[in-house]
A and B are shown apart, each in its own frame.
Chain A
């Protein structure tokens, strides 16, 4: 197991390298100029040239990438061209906010998905199945941006129950903007969380439905029924068989959510990685873009690794040597 873990950790290096190289090239292939983030659009050529030199943007691309990589492996992700703040501090604060949102949305999505999937799988072809499947299709098809706006109009503007945007208390007297698990903060989480949860909810519902339906057809389940086990006991066996796959799907979904939905975070002005990426992309803030993508990529890889480690603990048949 330890050798497997070490091997997997080593695999992350070329993945990270590939991701940084790809994102670096993509940013440069895209039209636009990172200097737009710092200089007015009508800045004269002499100012632009001086800035290019000051930010090292006049160096050949491989040199720029090499310099960035050398610093990155030492934990220095550079400084944001647009804000002048360190990329590390920018990304860490955004990741923290996205983690809160993603964990909440994932939890909502998983719970709803597992419940709906289990009901549907247990009643294939029935009304409950049609209802759950319908919701699942709706969840993966509905545009996030639109759903977020509709929920805001209903629950913020019409009913005035929940805040329309932001991540923290609006009162300036509250002091600080650090997240706290109290109602004042939690109410800000509900609308973006619900908006974001519909995709994992849809995917998990479909996965669980298929798994439950398939497992229920297997001979060992027939044997369990034949042995006179109760409904709950049989369901426990079915759940245990389905769990590794659900875990893998859940891990992937959490990874996607950690990437931060650019649209959802923008609609709710949620200061997470999606919001940060949105700003960085439009400003061509290369160091910020690079740093954010690298950190998110590492999160994704780490989550996959965690799922790979957890799976054999649940299902011994998947144990690696």
Chain B
């Protein structure tokens, strides 16, 4: 009898435990993510709203042919196989690239991924005569894949892409180009509007629900082809909360589990409340981009160097409550393309004043310049206080700057138009302050240094035209050996820093704040983040 009672007791104790475990095992894990955008980025295949949007509706729902390694945080990521298992350029005809495709991959709708799907997707964004052409998706990705001249299917598992010029950096363009399902588009009556609500890619998440401007719910794709990147959370709810303080309040009140870009002044409260603030090296720089046009005060290298030596970057980092790192150049020193510049970017007032004196200026007889800045906006960090800090710092060495303050959208117009344009040169504007993404060689270096990209062809805003730089860039494009390519890119960055082509201030660290419920999150050293790493 005693043993019966004992057994009953054991059972009574074990049953709730077993039921509890069963419930835990079956319960859906949900991460609610407060994002800084005012709307959910485009879900049809090519996200809008910039590089930061790819982590939400880009690399979650879709895959590129060549992917960016975004699930490591301890070192810079690199290009890794995506839907293409390998790729190479033809040694005899280097403009021709062959991509061997991954076999057995299925879209979320069950259809197969193959070479036809790749060609169909390329037509979708590059061929405006194709029925599936989508101007909106095209607008997002066409500027990111400028090298493509033509493409064709070689077999069911291989495609050939020909570039306009020999371009060894071409694979860096491909993480931007995502593959969506042709079958789903057919099924939904050739209507991209409907596809937006029922998209189908091959990515680690499927879209379960989309309420414009309110939420998108992504659910784990259990059949994802890359088992190493299976999502650690069953469901991720993306909630657009554009106001930074509101995002922080939502996190503090438990309405969301993680947020991006918490406001710097809330950090102490977050940390005190047990929330974790995660940051990492991020390919971003907050610079003054100088005009090299005749008449610009920045044509004198002594002035450019003096400006770089006049800024106490540690103080700016303090102003940002630690949410930045001092810039030593266009790139972070951990970048493989940083090189070994001889000009050390640091705070050295005496040297800065000496350089200005050599150039014929002093605090009493200052050099005057006008800089166009934004009052705020994405990537601009704390624009006004930081600019005022720079203004005061430069005044200390004899550079008196005036600001032309505009809205960010308007600043883009000035940027695209180039320093020589009447809207800039005509108003005496000789420098522009705009946060730059520096994620790959094109974004970090080429577009600012190559004379072919002087406005209106690109954003070499200052109008830099240096035959030696152009020659090195040509060499980079024809060098397919990665190590040699990295060395050439490093030499370009060295030139950039040694010539002090910009005034580099700080790098963003892309902060995220996590509630204690979030057990895992790998923050990549990139704007592309991997949401599969979020574990609750």
A residues lining the B interface (CB < 8 Å): 31-33, 35-45, 47-48, 50-51, 54-55, 82-86, 90, 93-94, 149, 152-153, 156-157, 160, 163-168, 170, 172-173, 177, 266-269, 271, 275-276, 278-279, 282-284
Contacts and interface: CB of A to CB of B under 8 A. Distances in A.
Contact of A160 (B32, B253, B409): B253
Contacts of B44: 84
B369 to A, nearest CB: 22
Nearest to B237: A172
Contacts of B242: 266, 269, 278
Nearest to B50: A40
Contacts of B237: 170, 172
Contacts of A157: 249, 252-253
B258 to A, nearest CB: 14
Interface of B: 28, 30, 32, 38-39, 42, 44, 48, 50, 128, 135-136, 139-140, 142-144, 146, 192-193, 196, 209, 211-215, 217, 235, 237, 239-243, 245-246, 249-250, 252-256, 406-407, 409-410, 412-413, 415-416, 447, 456-459
Contacts of B458: 42, 44
A279 B240 CA distance: 12
Contacts of B240: 269
A284 B237 CA distance: 28
Contacts of A284: 409
Nearest to B240: A269
The 10 closest A-B pairs by CB, nearest first: A32-B409, A156-B253, A31-B410, A164-B249, A45-B456, A41-B412, A43-B143, A279-B38, A39-B139, A54-B135
A177 B209 CA distance: 10
A166 B143 contact: no
B143 A44 contact: yes
Nearest to B254: A160
Given A164-B246, A269-B239, A41 B213 contact: no
A283 B42 CA distance: 15
Contacts of A163: 250, 253, 255
- In this complex, which of A38, A152, A165 has the most chain B Cβ atoms within 10 angstroms of its Cβ? A165
A38 B239 contact: no
Given A42-B459, A84-B192, A152-B253, 14 more contacts: A38-B139, A40-B50, A40-B140, A41-B412, A44-B146, A44-B456, A50-B128, A152-B246, A156-B255, A160-B253, A165-B239, A165-B246, A170-B237, A269-B241
- In this complex, which of B146, B214, B407 has the most chain A Cβ atoms within 10 angstroms of its Cβ? B214
Contacts of B136: 38, 84
- In this complex, which of A43, A94, A284 has the most chain B Cβ atoms within 10 angstroms of its Cβ? A43
B213 A84 contact: no
A85 B43 CA distance: 12
B246 A268 contact: yes
A177 B447 CA distance: 44
24 contacts: A31-B407, A32-B413, A40-B143, A42-B416, A44-B456, A45-B456, A47-B139, A55-B135, A83-B212, A149-B249, A152-B249, A163-B253, A164-B249, A165-B239, A166-B250, A172-B237, A177-B211, A267-B245, A269-B239, A269-B241, A271-B213, A276-B213, A278-B38, A284-B409
Nearest to B458: A44
Given A45-B456, A90-B212, A177-B211, A164 B250 contact: yes
Contacts of B459: 42
Contact of B140 (A39, A45, A165, A177): A39
Nearest to A283: B409
A39 B143 contact: yes
B196 A84 contact: yes
A273 B65 CA distance: 40
Contact of B48 (A82, A90, A271): A82
Nearest to B256: A170
B235 A172 contact: yes
A167 B252 contact: no
A138 B140 CA distance: 48
Nearest to A39: B139
B104 to A, nearest CB: 31
Given A31-B410, A41-B415, A269-B240, A170 B214 contact: no
B456 A167 contact: no
- In this complex, which of B39, B128, B253, B256 has the most chain A Cβ atoms within 10 angstroms of its Cβ? B253
B240 to A, nearest CB: 7
A173 B38 contact: no
Given A32-B410, A172-B30, A177-B215, A269 B246 contact: yes
B497 to A, nearest CB: 22
Contacts of B42: 83-84
A168 B32 CA distance: 14
A183 B367 CA distance: 64
B406 A166 contact: no
